[in-house]
């Protein structure tokens, strides 16, 4: 298959597998084209056109997406990220099993993709495996990012403190039922008594006598 897709890969993207197109229909076109080329060269021209279209078509699986391109003058291109792949199944007839050729159907969120390729079952297995691997890598990146954010927040004195966990109502009732300690008032020492110069007796200012 052509290598056009490799020029448009992202920085962290690589090709996992390329689908091999079914070459048997071209054999029949060339046989008819060579045998009947004298009929206005139409069969031969048709065989040449089919060969060019065959060479330009490609179905590539990368670690991030599926790339499907076809067409010579009117090019149709479809890129599908792996999370958007919804299902893959293969149809193989009797001769398809004999020559190891099948039609692969890929259901995506952007529409179906169909192609007649060799080793269709192997390509189907590769797609399903890569979809699962993409999910695992995505979860690992999320966990790594969360750990970094938690570490960054622990070392930042201005980080917002986590919200305290609310205490259940049952625990509040249990706390209220516990006996509370009795609060005692501190004993204040009495001030020293004032000594009565009359010895506890009153004093009459007129008679200057002590009154009991």
Please report, in tens digits, the pLDDT of each residue of the chain (212 residues total): 445 566 778 888 889 998 888 776 777 777 777 777 776 677 777 777 777 777 778 899 999 999 988 877 777 888 899 999 999 999 988 877 888 888 899 999 988 998 888 888 999 999 999 999 999 988 998 898 988 888 887 655 555 555 666 656 665 555 666 666 655 555 544 444 444 455 544 545 545 555 55
Output the pLDDT for position 194: 43
Burial of 56 (0-12, 13-18, 19+ CB in 10 A): middle
- pTM score of the predicted model: 0.60
Alpha carbon separation from 69 to 19, 54, 162, 174 (Å, rounded): 12, 11, 51, 70
Distance CA 122, CA 178 (A): 70
Contacts of 66 (CB under 8 A, 6+ apart): 59, 60, 78, 79, 80, 82, 85, 106, 108, 113, 127
Output the pLDDT for position 102: 87
| DSSP-derived secondary structure letter, 111 | -
Distance CA 176, CA 170 (A): 10
């Amino acid at each position: 298959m052509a290598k056009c897709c490799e020029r448009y890969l992202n920085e962290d993207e690589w090709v996992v597998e390329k689908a091999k197109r079914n070459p048997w229909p071209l054999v029949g076109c060339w046989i008819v084209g060579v045998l009947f080329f004298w009929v206005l060269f139409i069969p031969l021209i048709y065989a040449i056109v089919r060969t060019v279209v065959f060479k330009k078509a490609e179905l590539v699986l990368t670690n991030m997406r599926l790339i499907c391109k076809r067409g010579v003058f009117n090019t149709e291109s479809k890129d599908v990220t792996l999370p958007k792949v919804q299902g893959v199944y293969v149809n193989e007839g009797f001769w398809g099993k004999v020559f190891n050729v099948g039609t692969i159907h890929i259901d995506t969120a952007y529409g179906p993709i169909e192609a007649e390729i060799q080793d269709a079952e192997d390509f189907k297995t590769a797609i399903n495996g890569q979809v699962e691997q993409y999910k695992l890598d995505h979860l690992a990146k999320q966990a790594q990012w969360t750990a970094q954010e938690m570490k960054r927040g622990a070392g930042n004195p201005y980080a917002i403190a986590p919200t305290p966990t609310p205490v259940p109502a049952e625990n509040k009732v249990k706390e209220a039922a516990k006996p509370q300690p009795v609060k005692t008032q501190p004993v204040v020492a009495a001030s020293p008594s004032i000594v009565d110069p009359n010895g506890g007796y009153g004093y009459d200012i007129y008679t200057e006598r002590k009154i009991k």
